[in-house]
Amino acid sequence: MRTIPALFARVVAAHPDRVAVGTTTYAELDDASARLAGALRARGLRRGQPVAVALERSPLVPVALLGIVRAGGCYLGLDPGDPPARRAALLADSGALLLGGEEVLVDGPRAADADVGPEDLAYLAYTSGSTGAPKGVCVPHRAVARLVDAPDFLTTTPDDVLLQHAPLAFDASTLEVWGALLNGARLAVAPPGELSPAELAAFAREQGVTTAWLTAGLFHQVVDTALADLRGVRQLVAGGDVLSPAHVERALRALPGLVLVNGYGPTENTTFTACHRMTAPPTTATVPIGTPIRGGGVHLLDADLRPVPDGEVGELHATGDGLALGYLGRPDLTAERFLPDPTTPGARMYRTGDLARRLPDGVLEFVGRADAQVKVRGFRVEPAEVEAQLLRHPDVTGAAVVAQADSSGGRRLAAFYTAEHPVSAPELRRALAERLPRHLVPSTLTRLPALPLTPSGKLDRAALAATPVRTRADVDADYRAPASERERWLAQLWADVLAVDAVGVDDDFFELGGHSLLASRITAEIAGERGVFVRARTFYENPTVAELAEHLDVLEESR
């Protein structure tokens, strides 16, 4: 049977003494997770009941996930950095038990695996919702098995080492964790907290990682700053957003023998719908998203759900074993997005909202979105969810959120708002940070006298996307000019990366529109120009020019 417990039992029987994660063997992981399953059943866990896991990356996480599914439950990955209000909302919506880190390793009796089938729930994943509330995607065991059990876009053997870096709340972790543990490979869990691209690539080299999954933005940064550290990687999956052909070419030319996979797919179709394997740079203007992976299919349909001719743009509908069961407690939305497959009686398809065309050689080319949803640093974002939170502020009378290009070649969220009474961008940012995860908090917030409209009276999102917005009005600090040579150099570096005309020494990098990938550009420039290595966590702890300059002084004095 193709369920997580059954596939894991197969691996344990074949490779009990191989290392699964950290220094833990498959036999030891089997024992620890079986004991946790017993403890969860003693707590009254029901079949299919969600159990929330809000742990930092560590070898405890695989124990927790296996224990939950072996007990018959399903796991809900939460980001430990999420605001308490966000976590409380997801726990309330899902009805999940909460599993603490101190509860993972137990000394109680082992439990036999629950009698779960391919259609039973394996995990819940919340995605951004167009109504302003996140929606829970119900993913069954058969969908996980279709992704990692003998897929045609990757090969995984017990000799492989897979990198685990993605947050549990992000469905890339499905491929990372189960791609390793259901194939007898070793899982290399990255250290907790924020890691720069250089730190992550160095970790991959130290651990002998052979297969890694990177979001498009992170892939671009690693290619720019730390490509040499990936020489031991034989399979590199990148996706979550549009790949730069130039970065793909650089990676493939610099790493002979590398298989680079462009992966495309929504959470509702379990990580990947289509993949494009490359050993040489593409000859097309864009990087194709490839062909449907084994166990699934794709229809390109017009607005009347009729197939479009090859070469014509149609909305992509996904079919097959990767489909989720639907949205938790949302039969209306499930019926709207999961439709009957017109080609197969009794089958379903998922309406992705993505536009694509089929090229002459049969591969798919991604064209864009058919709705307002955007992709930012690998996350799908419904602008309406962020707009709804902005409108909760008593002084905000109008709000619009769009994606804009940033200097890293990626995209960031930009919010525009109207207000009856003055309300500052920092005040709004703090309010949003209390209710939204970090990736949903806009990089910039700009107050306008009125939101622009098209001639037909609709919100002109294209005009907003083209509006330059980064100004010092986005920060609380009064302007204080750089005094030392180091401060002047850092301030100019920040101004160049953030596209701001001036940066004061007390200005917060993140309030000026910075994010993790732009922070990585700063640390890479510091390493290249000054020969000083600044860890990503250190940058987050010293987010102003003054603080970072002082930290660099200390580092140089200690050399």
Q: For position 476, what pLDDT does the model report? A: 56
pLDDT digits (tens, 9 = 90+) for 183-230: 999 999 999 988 888 999 999 999 999 999 998 888 988 998 899 999
- Report residue 111 as tokens: 């439990």
Q: Using one digit for the tens of pLDDT, what is the confidence trace for 218-229?
A: 898 899 889 999
Tell me the pairing of strands 135-140 and 326-327. antiparallel
Cα separation, 191 vs 195, in Å, equals 8
Rounded-to-integer distance, Cα 375 and Cα 379, Å: 5
According to the model, what pLDDT value does residue 131 have? 61
Beta strand 121-127 pairing with 135-140: antiparallel
Structure tokens at 54: 């809000």
Q: Is the pLDDT confidence value at 311 over 80?
A: yes
Model confidence pLDDT, tens digit, residues 15-62: 999 999 999 999 999 999 999 999 999 999 999 999 999 999 999 999
113-148: pLDDT as tens digits: 999 999 999 999 998 766 668 899 999 999 999 999
Q: SS3 string of 475-542?
A: CCCCCCCCCCHHHHHHHHHHHHHHCCCCCCCCCCCCCCCCCHHHHHHHHHHHHHHHCCCCCHHHHHHC
Answer whether residue 479 shows pLDDT above 80: no
> What pLDDT is recorded for position 173?
96
- Domain 382-469 CATH assignment equals 3.30.300.30: yes
Average pLDDT over residues 423-436: 86
Structure tokens at 34: 């079986």
Q: Tell me the pLDDT tens digit for each residue of 364-420.
A: 998 877 776 677 777 778 787 788 788 888 888 788 889 887 766 678 888 998 887
Taking CA atoms, 103 is separated from 64, 118, 138, 361, 466, in Å, by 9, 28, 25, 53, 50
Residue 147 and residue 404 in contact, taking contact as beta carbons nearer than 8 Å: no
Lowest-confidence segment of 117-121, 257-261, 423-427 by average pLDDT: 423-427
Contacts of 553 (CB under 8 A, 6+ apart): 486
Cα distance between residue 171 and residue 379, in whole Å: 10
In the predicted structure, residue 491 carries a pLDDT above the cut 90: no
CATH of 485-557, one of 3.40.50.10880, 1.10.1200.10, 1.10.600.10, 3.90.330.10: 1.10.1200.10
At position 179, the amino acid (one-letter code) is: G
Q: Give the whole-angstrom CA distance, residue 542 versus residue 529.
A: 19
Question: 477 vs 548, which has greater pLDDT?
Answer: 548
Class of domain 4-358: alpha beta
pTM of the model as a whole: 0.78
DSSP 8-state assignment for residue 104: S
Domain boundaries, the chain: 4-358, 382-469, 485-557
Using 50, 70 and 90 to split pLDDT, how confident is the model at 324? very high
Which pLDDT belongs to residue 132? Answer: 67
Share of the chain above pLDDT 90, in %: 54
What pLDDT does 255 receive?
A: 96
Sign of torsion, CA 494 498 499 505? Answer: negative
**Percent composition of the chain: helix, strand, coil (DSSP 3-state, to 5):** 35, 25, 45
